[in-house]
Amino acid sequence: MPIYNAPLRDMRFVLTEVFDYENDVASLPGYEEASLDLVDAILEEAAKFCENELQPLNLSGDEEGCHYENGVVRTPKGFKEAYDKFREAGWTSLANDPKYGGQGLPHVVGFAVEEMICSSNMAFGMYPGLTQGAYRAIERWASDDLKDLYLPKMTDGTWSGTMCLTEPHSGTDLGMIRTKAEPNDDGSYAITGTKIFISAGEHDLTENIIHLVLAKLPDAPPGIKGISLFLVPKFLPKEEGGEVVPGPSNGARCGSIEHKMGIKASSTCVMNFDNAQGWLVGDAHKGMRAMFAMMNAARLGVGMQGLGLAEVAYQNAAAYAKERIQGRSLTGTKEPEKAADSIIVHPDVRRMLLKSKSLTEGARALAYWAGMLLDRQHRHPDEAERAEADDFVALITPVIKAVFTDHGSDAANLAVQVHGGHGYIHEYGVEQFVRDARITQIYEGTNGIQALDMIGRKLPEGGGRLLRRFFHPMQDFLMENMADPEMAEFVKPLFKSFGQLQQLTLHIAQKGMADPEEAGAAATEYLRFFGLVAIGWMWARMVKVAKDKVEGDDTGFYRAKLATARFYMTRVLPETASLGLAIMAGKKPLMELEEAAF
């Protein structure tokens, strides 16, 4: 049976020692009551809920999966009861606007809670996670009437939400969608079409499900410029006894659920819309703008899924490595009272564990920093500060989505490897992490799409404005700490990789202007290179804190930080060298092979 213990000590370290939550977040307008003591209490309670309520359902939920019959979906045993407790405890409303019944807490707090949910039960987390994505789009783009009607119910969790984008013939290329929206006399629209791969499209956890559906109006121009976004409830709301409750069915029906590799307790649905009544969200033919509001939030959420799975996979691998005895240490017996030594004495086992540990802890710091900047983007009183934070979040979003989910998948596979044959057995739970993690690299835009977004949109935007939000402060940090002898072994390799990243960025920009395929051929390696440097910067910042606290460190926490940072700088960051060579090889090795030869 797998284990999970929320890494609260590490979360606090990032929020309060590496970064300054009190001054950078709690001081923002509207967050004055979100003190560190309050946040600490919230994280403690979230940890208890995830460890005691959600994690015990993860393995059984995977074994049972969802059940479909005549358009109705039932979630696995225990999920409905757990969701009711989740909703009643207020976990659905953490970062939502108090105007709609939310708690108005900072986004970074939501990030930390989301990480714990994904570690303990990723499939369960899909349901409230999709609702948050839909909430954000409605909050930003819908009319006040739609907000007032739907957002309170989505905030308290009695109604949930979905994103209905993909169609059987139209995945990434959304300009090809065929779902139609015909105007009704009352200002609403009749929505007709089929959507596939709709997470949480039908289930028994909430009273109503609010679908956000991409469709085309009769006068829509071709391609993505003709897409509009519509709000389509499963049940039409009605007023009853002064309360808004679900009314008649609305022609939005689940046709089937997918039988998947992983996240089996999350219903992935084919949704059929048959003249379902919907309401326009935002402007006609401007649905892509609203859709990206959902997608950007969802991509950060998927990145947190990768981080959460990496953490729980590492925990289980480390626990097993300490318990499993096989063979003796290469330097002599370490545990003579036992028939063999624990496998954690072996260098290769330690290599796997440290790779997972170093990337996970570095990724957590990068994610929480992004969350804090997201709060600055929303709340800072200075417009220039908000714009700068917005630029950084936009730049780092594809990195968080792709690099974190690649790492989540790698960490899950490493956990299986550490377990050996037992890792391949279902009851140990780590093979489920492999299956659950695999989808994170695919949905909300495959990781290849994230790489293209990085080089095609983020790098050139504003003449490199977004990049400057990252390059300039990192350059300043490195120069400030280069002369510190205690920082040298960490800063020097990072400075070298950072310099190469700058050179490769210029190279790709120049090559890409002349031939887009040159940039496309380098995209995936460039995105990973960027991510490794970004995580390296986080490790350097963690070292700067930890080195001054080692003396008198009875727990070993800060010593472990320095040792893990050293592993990252010497055994993980050097991967950038091979990535650089691959980038410089250009497109020829990829494109010269004739199609018939594949």
Three-state secondary structure of 267-281: CEEEEEEEEEEEEEE
**In whole angstroms, how far apart are CA 178 and each of 190, 216, 217, 340, 394?**
14, 7, 10, 64, 30
In one-letter notation, the amino acid at residue 358 is: S
pLDDT at 176: 83
Distance of CA 322 to the CA centre of its chain: 30
Question: In the structure encoding, which two tokens stand for residue 203, read together?
Answer: 């289930």
3-state secondary structure 156-202: CCCEEEEEECCECCECCCHHHCCCEEEECCCCCEEEEEEEEEEECCC
What is the rounded CA–CA span in Å between residue 111 and residue 304? Answer: 7
Tokens 């009605």, located at residue: 238
- Residues in CB range of 556: below 8 A, 6 or more apart: none
Of 530, 572, 501, the closest CA to residue 395 belongs to 530
pLDDT at 224: 83
Alpha helices in 334-379 (DSSP H): 347-379
445 three-state secondary structure: coil
pLDDT at 1: 83
What is the rounded CA–CA span in Å between residue 176 and residue 133? Answer: 23
Q: Residue 207: how many CB atoms within 10 A of its CB?
A: 14
pLDDT at 296: 83
What is the rounded CA–CA span in Å between residue 323 and residue 589? Answer: 46
pLDDT at 57: 98
What is the rounded CA–CA span in Å between residue 273 and residue 250? Answer: 9
What is the rounded CA–CA span in Å between residue 567 and residue 573? Answer: 9
Tokens 């691959």, located at residue: 582
**In whole angstroms, how far apart are CA 321 and each of 113, 218, 329, 421?**
28, 61, 13, 13
Dihedral sign for Cα atoms in the order 412, 540, 449, 133: positive
pLDDT per residue rounded down to tens, the chain (598 residues): 899 999 999 999 999 999 999 999 999 999 999 999 999 999 999 999 999 999 999 999 999 999 999 999 999 999 999 999 999 999 999 999 999 999 999 999 999 999 999 999 999 999 999 999 999 999 999 999 999 999 999 999 999 999 999 999 876 777 789 999 999 999 999 999 999 999 999 999 999 999 999 999 999 998 888 999 999 999 999 999 889 999 999 999 999 999 999 999 999 999 999 999 999 999 999 988 887 777 888 899 999 999 999 999 999 999 999 999 999 999 999 999 999 999 999 999 999 999 999 999 999 999 999 999 999 999 999 999 999 999 999 999 999 999 999 999 999 999 999 999 999 999 999 999 999 999 999 999 999 999 999 999 999 999 999 999 999 999 999 999 999 999 999 999 999 999 999 999 999 999 988 999 999 999 999 999 999 999 999 999 999 999 999 998 899 999 999 999 999 999 999 999 999 999 999 999 999 999 999 9
Q: Residue 85: how many CB atoms within 10 A of its CB?
A: 13
Tokens 């469709």, located at residue: 215
User: 589: buried, middle or exposed (CB in 10 Å: 19+, 13-18, 0-12)?
Assistant: exposed
User: 324: buried, middle or exposed (CB in 10 Å: 19+, 13-18, 0-12)?
Assistant: middle
282 and 290 in contact (C-beta within 8 Å)? yes
pLDDT at 552: 86
DSSP state of 284: T
Q: Name the residues annotated as catalytic.
A: 444
285 and 228 in contact (C-beta within 8 Å)? yes
Q: Residue 448: how many CB atoms within 10 A of its CB?
A: 16
16 three-state secondary structure: helix
pLDDT at 293: 72
Tokens 């560190």, located at residue: 36
pLDDT at 173: 73
Of 162, 554, 570, 114, the closest CA to residue 305 belongs to 114
In one-letter notation, the amino acid at residue 472 is: H
Dihedral sign for Cα atoms in the order 110, 111, 117, 120: negative
202 and 72 in contact (C-beta within 8 Å)? yes
pLDDT at 288: 84
**In whole angstroms, how far apart are CA 18 and each of 108, 320, 537, 544, 547?**
14, 30, 11, 8, 12
Alpha helices in 423-574 (DSSP H): 430-438, 447-453, 465-481, 488-514, 516-546, 557-567
123 three-state secondary structure: helix
What is the dotted CATH code of the domain comprising 157-288?
2.40.110.20
444 and 401 in contact (C-beta within 8 Å)? yes
Radius of gyration from C-alpha coordinates of the chain: 24
In one-letter notation, the amino acid at residue 60 is: S
Domain boundaries, the chain: 8-139, 157-288, 447-598
pLDDT at 478: 98
3-state secondary structure 230-261: EEEECEEEEEECCEEEEEEECCEEEEEECCCC
329 and 430 in contact (C-beta within 8 Å)? no
pLDDT at 174: 74
What is the rounded CA–CA span in Å between residue 343 and residue 322? Answer: 7
What is the rounded CA–CA span in Å between residue 62 and residue 437? Answer: 13
103 and 96 in contact (C-beta within 8 Å)? yes
**At the topology level of CATH, where does 8-139 sit?**
Butyryl-Coa Dehydrogenase, subunit A; domain 1 (1.10.540)
